[in-house]
Amino acid sequence: MNPPNGISPIRFSFILILLAGCSLALVGRIGFLQIVQYQDFAQQADGNHWAKQTVQAHRGAILDRDGNPLAVSTSRWEVSIDPSKLKSPLLRERAIAAVAAAMGVSPLEVEGKLLMQPAPAVARIQSAQDVPLPVTGLTASAGPVVISGTLDYQQGKSLAAKGIPGIIIQERSDRNYPEGGLASQLLGLLGRDQSGLSGTEMDYDRELAGAPGTLVYERDSLGNPIPLGFRSEVQSKPGGDLVLTVDRFVQRTIERELQAAMERHKATGGTIIVMEPNTGAILGMASRPTFDLRNPNLSDPKSVDLMRNRAITDLYEPGSTFKVLTMAMAINEGLVTPETTYMDSGPVTKYGIPLETWDFRHHGTQTMNQLLMTSNNVGAVWVGEKVGVKRFYEYANKFGIGQPTSLGLSGEAAGQLRTPSDKDNWWPIDLATNTFGQGLSVTPLQMVTAVSSVINGGTLMRPYLVQRIETPDATRTFQPTPVRRVISEEASRTMRTMMNMIAEQGGTTSYAVPGFRIGVKTGTATIPGEGGYKTDSTIASIVGFAPYETPRAVVLVKLDAPKDSPWGSVVAGPMFSNVVRELMVYWRIAPTASAMVSSRRQ
């Protein structure tokens, strides 16, 4: 090609080469975008055109053993209007009318809520006067305005399906507690994302939460659903309902009694557990101090500490209630009978350490029945020596001392039990002090579980809190689980009788339940401190069962550091009596004639 007149051939050739190069570059760029980067741009386009939304599953309820709701979730819709997306009066009017119809109110009321919102921003000019200029108009809103947070579920779902621009519909879920703050530590808290943070809400979160669904739909350039556009939804799978072994009446009874005793005795803490001895089912479990799950304060470290379930996490030395286990060992081995005698002639010294009775009294010749009635520490040491080191710790292990009970709640402590196999920490004097419940530690749950095995025929049962999990697809039921046999049925019958004699002939009526025969053992344990035991505070406790003829409940009561009296019989005894009296009436168990005669004599 010849260059036009007046243009240098060299310059013309340069222009042609430049144009050819630009054309090649443009074609190359187009090819790169449409071939090499096609997949990336296609994904971006899909991302802008299609929206994927997670549909929250309905969380299952937590129910008591009779199906009464303790924690339930209610679904609702939160409806908002985003003024920034209402580009014309027609769109604005349409959005307001649709929301008003769904709420069952007039459009003026919805309009009023929009107009009542404070100006989201203030523009300022930089001048000598620095005059503020407010930004006006609905389209200047900083974001969506919540019109209603409690829109009816079906109405909200219908409104969402219309896909009207500017209307934002979000599903919300609230956890409600029909029984108020009952069993707060057992139930536990939910986080803002509706996941469990503590208690059964956390430990059974997978079962309660269900499986979320997904919603896929087409949207316009503003992000609004396209009316009549493609819409696909995978339904969420609701969570299962958790049916506990807890009885709401029993739980409310023990919480009320525990709170009253805390205030009456100015104690620092306490626990009451009610267990079915033959199954291991927890009928009630309460600890203080506690929190109200309806109004928790997660920002306060002290409040977070109150969420701890002290019945399974906190250790204490059981004191004289442990003598029930020591005596059961000797009875089962045939080493003593209830009428076997020993001579209590004064304090005994073991390995250079003097051991005394709790009241510094000595009783001369005593039977095993009398030993338990007077809660004789020196006598317990004598019984423990007859059992022997090897057998004593074998039985302690069989009773579950020093082992978690596997209740199914996180945070359960194992307790502390030094044994001869731990040569660096165990000393021969430990056998003597362990026989009357000092020098070892348990959780309240461990102790009530061990005593249940003594009176239920001799079998250690695994305690359990969940009776069944009911889902739309199936029901999973939890059955009582025997762990192992600890003592014989004959030894168990003997121990029930011995504990009944404590209740009826023990010299105090503080734990008596008029009209009913029961079995008990009290305990008063000193509290370990730095360099020894504290001298100004104790743990007052009692463990017992009722009714004597066919034990239906084992009740453990523990009160920490009562200020007015240190003794288990004085402090914990009346608490036990009050709880058992309520249970007998609630279960409609008829009083026995012999117990009625005995109570009149008292």
- Give 335's DSSP letter: S
- Give 67's DSSP letter: S
* Among the listed residues 204, 222, 126, the one whose alpha carbon sits nearest the alpha carbon of residue 168: 222
How far is residue 60's CA from residue 51's CA, in Å, rounded to a whole number? 28
* Among the listed residues 449, 305, 325, 345, the one whose alpha carbon sits nearest the alpha carbon of residue 394: 325
Summarised one tens digit per residue, pLDDT across range 325-340 is 999 999 999 999 999 9
> CB neighbours (10 Å) of residue 483?
18
Most confident of 210-224, 264-278, 495-509: 264-278
- Better-predicted residue by pLDDT, 440 or 47: 440
- For residue 552 the two structure tokens come to 């239906």
Contact between residue 186 and residue 200 where contact means Cβ atoms under 8 Å apart: yes
* Among the listed residues 99, 54, 80, 75, the one whose alpha carbon sits nearest the alpha carbon of residue 172: 75
pLDDT of residue 378 exceeding 70, the answer is yes
How far is residue 100's CA from residue 92's CA, in Å, rounded to a whole number? 12
* Among the listed residues 192, 178, 214, 223, the one whose alpha carbon sits nearest the alpha carbon of residue 53: 214
- Better-predicted residue by pLDDT, 115 or 578: 578
The confidence score (pLDDT) of residue 147 equals 84
pLDDT band at residue 346 using 50, 70 and 90 as cut-offs: confident
Residue carrying the six token digits 């803490």: 269
The confidence score (pLDDT) of residue 125 equals 35
The confidence score (pLDDT) of residue 228 equals 59
One-letter amino acid of 474: A
pLDDT of residue 602 exceeding 90, the answer is no
pLDDT of residue 351 exceeding 60, the answer is yes
**Is 273 buried (19+), middle (13-18) or exposed (0-12) by CB count in 10 A?**
buried
Strands (DSSP E) along 426-552, which ranges? 459-462, 466-470, 475-477, 481-485, 519-529, 532-546
Q: Could you give all domains of the chain from N- to C-terminal order, each with its CATH number?
A: 50-83+173-244 (3.90.1310.10), 248-601 (3.40.710.10)
The confidence score (pLDDT) of residue 135 equals 35
* Among the listed residues 498, 537, 548, 538, the one whose alpha carbon sits nearest the alpha carbon of residue 521: 498
How far is residue 313's CA from residue 444's CA, in Å, rounded to a whole number? 9
**Is 257 buried (19+), middle (13-18) or exposed (0-12) by CB count in 10 A?**
buried
pLDDT of residue 132 exceeding 90, the answer is no
The confidence score (pLDDT) of residue 98 equals 86
- Better-predicted residue by pLDDT, 513 or 95: 513
Mean per-residue pLDDT of the chain: 86
Q: Interior CA angle at 150 toward 165 and 147, to 5°?
A: 45
pLDDT band at residue 500 using 50, 70 and 90 as cut-offs: very high
User: Using omega within 30 degrees of 0 as the cis cutoff, is the peptide bond preceding 547 cis?
Assistant: yes
The confidence score (pLDDT) of residue 46 equals 56
At a CB cut-off of 8 Å and minimum separation 6, what does 411 contact? Answer: 308, 309, 312, 313
pLDDT of residue 10 exceeding 90, the answer is no
Q: How far is CA 322 from CA 2, 165, 183, 312, 376, in A?
A: 116, 71, 28, 18, 12
pLDDT band at residue 410 using 50, 70 and 90 as cut-offs: very high
Backbone angles phi, psi at 364, to 5 degrees: 65, -140
- Better-predicted residue by pLDDT, 509 or 208: 208
How far is residue 602's CA from residue 597's CA, in Å, rounded to a whole number? 9
Taking residues 405-429, report their average pLDDT.
93
Q: Interior CA angle at 585 toward 589 and 568, to 5°?
A: 100
Taking residues 208-224, report their average pLDDT.
73
Taking residues 563-584, report their average pLDDT.
95
pLDDT of residue 313 exceeding 50, the answer is yes
How far is residue 211's CA from residue 571's CA, in Å, rounded to a whole number? 49
pLDDT band at residue 122 using 50, 70 and 90 as cut-offs: very low
The confidence score (pLDDT) of residue 251 equals 98
**Torsion angle, alpha carbons of 313, 317, 322, 326, to 10:** 110
pLDDT of residue 41 exceeding 70, the answer is no
Taking residues 16-31, report their average pLDDT.
79
pLDDT of residue 112 exceeding 90, the answer is no
How far is residue 376's CA from residue 358's CA, in Å, rounded to a whole number? 7
Q: Which of 173-187, 202-216, 401-415, 572-586 is predicted with the least confidence, judged by mean pLDDT?
A: 202-216
Cα 203 versus chain centre, distance: 8
The confidence score (pLDDT) of residue 136 equals 36
The confidence score (pLDDT) of residue 83 equals 82
The confidence score (pLDDT) of residue 126 equals 38
Taking residues 338-358, report their average pLDDT.
90
Contact between residue 64 and residue 70 where contact means Cβ atoms under 8 Å apart: yes
The kind and range of the H/E element at 148 are strand 145-151
Does the model's pTM come out above 0.85? no
- For residue 598 the two structure tokens come to 């005995």
Contact between residue 314 and residue 415 where contact means Cβ atoms under 8 Å apart: no
Q: Which of 46-50, 126-130, 261-265, 430-434 is predicted with the least confidence, judged by mean pLDDT?
A: 126-130
Summarised one tens digit per residue, pLDDT across range 68-90 is 999 999 877 888 888 877 778 88
Rg (alpha carbons) of the chain, rounded to whole number: 37
> CB neighbours (10 Å) of residue 334?
10
